[in-house]
Structure 1
């Protein structure tokens, strides 16, 4: 493998890490509160707000229903408005974030639903506020499930970031498409595939280890 090819793969790898890290971070910051709101405002929860719950749920479901490759193209005007361009690593972060945030929200909501309702009732009986119930009871109990879900979300982002290469989004996907597919250079495609496999395996192992550590506490 030539030094120029190694350099291209390394640069593309860093671009992929940047895309996944930033979009995953922003998506988590947006998705966790949204998931909490979806849970607590459910009609069977302790702070029912049916109208708000239905509206937010519809928005989340709508965003999750759009395949990423279509979303990527559909929001190009918005992407240009936010970052000034529709191509490159920065541009890819916008649709990646919009795609992963509602996914994380549903993960959080589902994890919170699995918490024993008796714990919530016990906290209410002791006079805990709604905020205390969320921060001291629900989130700690649901954390293993949330972390496992976040691992899946980040791995999904890696796949989405590769799709972003179709429109010049940068990263390993862009490198694989430009050289491995369009120019039919298997000596580029296979190293890209191997790097992606190693990256996914590493993230999955790290996530599993973190979940086991949290679960044993």
Structure 2
């Protein structure tokens, strides 16, 4: 099926496709970008929810205040969020090699992508959870709900729309990060833009990669907005 699509696109774009990069190579790079975004988003969201719920529960005026946990976790999150992605990616090379057995390539890029987007998602999720009216939490406590029941049956459902919009924002940032990952050997659209668009002065492929990234961002934003408006 993929080969048929590639052949069809090659014929369709033949009159205007003038680049060192073939249509097949471009589609492969696009697949790599989507793969990196999808996997990093899943693991980043898991990290983000665990981080946000922990900070929500243990904050000074939280449901289960715990100064030790909060004071340790909060600065760690701030430190990770303050690092630019490229620096984080380079700093994590030993960890990346330990986990994946390699330092370049799509699989290797996912490790620093998760480390980059996880704390960012966590802050956005925490912001959404903190927007929930305190009256709902007080009502849940009055009914005898446990801390986890308060979070999963009251706070999360109430914060659904805000959560989806904030996760959409994080996903768009992740798409941008995958482009930077390509510059340092992560593969994907960013790799094409750098290796051919920049180093070989291929203006055509540079324009195509920019359009592809814009389309991915637009699709992510449209889907996120639609989901947030659903009841």
Report how many residues are paired. 214
Q: Distance in 1 between matches of 2:95 and 2:174?
A: 20
Aligned pairs for 1:3-14 (under 5 A) are 5-14=22-31
Give the whole-Å Cα distance in 2 for the aligned partners of 1:135 and 1:187: 49
Alignment of 1:127-146 (within 5 A): 127-146=144-163
Cα deviation, 1:73-96, whole Å, max 9, x if unaligned, reads: 111111111101111000100000
Unaligned ranges ≥5, structure 1: none
**Which residue, 55, 58, 62 being the options, matches 2:75?**
58
2:60–2:67 Cα contact (<8 Å) kept:
yes
Number of the residue aligned with 1:204: 221
CA distance in 2, matches of 1:24, 1:85: 21
Determine helix, strand or coil for the equivalent of 1:47. coil
Aligned partner (choices 46, 58, 63) of residue 63 of structure 2: 46
Say which SS state the counterpart of residue 62 (structure 1) adopts.
helix
Q: Within the alignment, does 1:33 sit opposite 2:50 as a pair?
A: yes
SS of match in other structure, 2:205: helix
Q: How far 1:5 sits from its partner (Å)?
A: 2.1
Q: Secondary structure at the match of 1:48?
A: coil
Which residue of 51, 71, 80 corresponds with 2:88?
71
* Matched ranges for 1:1-217 at <5 A: 1=17, 5-213=22-230, 217=231
CA distance in 1: counterparts of 2:94 and 2:54, whole angstroms: 29
Q: Is the 8 A contact 1:41 1:52 kept in 2?
A: yes
Q: Decide whether the 8 Å contact of 2:18 with 2:204 is kept in 1.
A: no
* Deviations 1:83-114, CA, capped at 9 Å, x for gaps: 01111000100000000000111111111111
Could you tell me how far apart the structure 2 residues matched to 1:89 and 1:188 are?
20
Residue 132 of structure 1: how far off its partner (Å): 0.9
Report the more deviating stretch, 3-12 or 113-122. Answer: 3-12
SS at match of 1:28: helix
8 A Cα contact 2:117 2:174, kept in partner: yes
Contact 1:5 1:188 in 2 (8 A): no
TM-score (norm 2): 0.90
| CA-atom RMSD in angstroms | 1.1
**Larger radius of gyration, structure 1 or 2?**
2
Residue-by-residue CA offset, 1:113-171 (whole Å, 9 max, x unaligned): 11000011011111111111111101101111111111011110110010011211100
Answer yes or no: is the 8 Å Cα contact 1:161–1:173 preserved in 2: yes
